[in-house]
Homo-oligomer: A and B are copies of this chain.
Amino acid sequence: MSSRVAVGVLGATGTVGQQFVRLLAGHPWFEATWLAGSERSEGKTYADAANWKLATPMPDAAAARVVQRPVPGNGPKLVFSALDANVAGDLEKAFADAGHIVVSNARNYRMDPLVPLLIPEINPDHLELLEQQKSAYGWKGGIVTNSNCSTMFLAMALAPLRALGLTTCNVVTLQAVSGAGYPGVPSLDILGNVVPFIGGEEEKLEMEPQKILGRLAGDHVEPHPVIISAHTTRVPVIDGHSEMISVGFASSVTAADIRAAFDAFSGLPQEIGLPFAPPRPLVYLEAENRPQPRLDVERENGMAVFLGRLRPCPVLQHKFVALGHNTVRGAAGAALLNAELMQAQGLL
């Protein structure tokens, strides 16, 4: 008999859902005992319902499970949400209302003032908002969200720069196709091509970091004042978002200051040893042409953010490159780390 905590996955058959299933397969604390899907999948085994698109085989335990209807009240207390935004709004609320803790990857509640937009290395104290949620919304459970995938790598890189007086940021992303799900980006649009637009993405990248990097002030989060300009593009890469980042500061900062801040950055997950916490959240690569998706995205189990090419920016002050695994640290892995923190803090 397993002593692991039973957890569920909403939207288990999609691409993010598949990452949840993969990452939970060997998890030391959690066991995915309940996989929920759309009507089309309900009643089928997961093996039959999911069009598995990961390069590692489907875990045997998951393959044999029967996909459930996502009925609030059914399933374990902790449910991960890999739902599409068009259904996540109603369904996540219903699950929270019914007493579930919903650890969500969807965008719907991220900017809700009472919902933590959680990155455990940066703002673990934002979990205190869960109490506000209960009283304000009358939910028996609650909702905790992780950020947009591109936001994750940017916020992680900017977090240690707050103490240096960070004021402005320009970011251009080169994003992988797995971020768009399946079927997602048609091959005719992206083979040998660049699409200089991703719907709704720039808005997220300009707003979410302010909340994530913000300070909990009693019952709300005071956004960090960094001003961000984002330009997001799609490139023919399977996994791994690259970001070209320039940063400005209130006063003059040296490259050594920034580098030291990157290297020293660590957080609660590292301190208390959460299973999915990367040893170092930010890994700086010295080679002049790194990080690169093909060579670096799978390192550290896809949970670290890789940095490189720190150098002066003639317009702002400094510039550098960031890279992260969009469906791991940028999605399912982020939610898992969130849930691990909550479990470690007795919130589940």
Name the residue of chain B whose CB is nearest to the CB of A178: B188
Within 8 A of B (CB), among A259-297: 288-297
Which B residues are in CB contact (< 8 Å) with A321? 196, 231
Whether A197 lies near B309 (C-beta < 8 A) is yes
Distance in angstroms between the alpha carbons of A295 and B233 in the assembled complex:
15
Distance in angstroms between the alpha carbons of A174 and B196 in the assembled complex:
10
Which of A92-100, A157-165, A234-242 binds B?
Answer: A234-242
The smallest C-beta distance from A278 to any residue of chain B, in angstroms, reads 13
The smallest C-beta distance from A134 to any residue of chain B, in angstroms, reads 35
The smallest C-beta distance from A15 to any residue of chain B, in angstroms, reads 8
- A187 near B: Cβ within 8 Å? yes
A210-243 near B? 1/0 per residue, CB < 8 Å: 0000000000000000011101010111101010
- A246 near B: Cβ within 8 Å? yes
The smallest C-beta distance from A222 to any residue of chain B, in angstroms, reads 19
- Selected from B55, B184, B196, B297, the residue in CB contact (under 8 A) with A187 is B184
Whether A293 lies near B169 (C-beta < 8 A) is no
- Selected from B187, B197, B289, B308, the residue in CB contact (under 8 A) with A236 is B187
* A–B pairs, 11, beta carbons within 8 Å: A15-B188, A182-B186, A190-B191, A192-B236, A192-B238, A194-B292, A194-B293, A196-B308, A229-B314, A231-B319, A238-B294
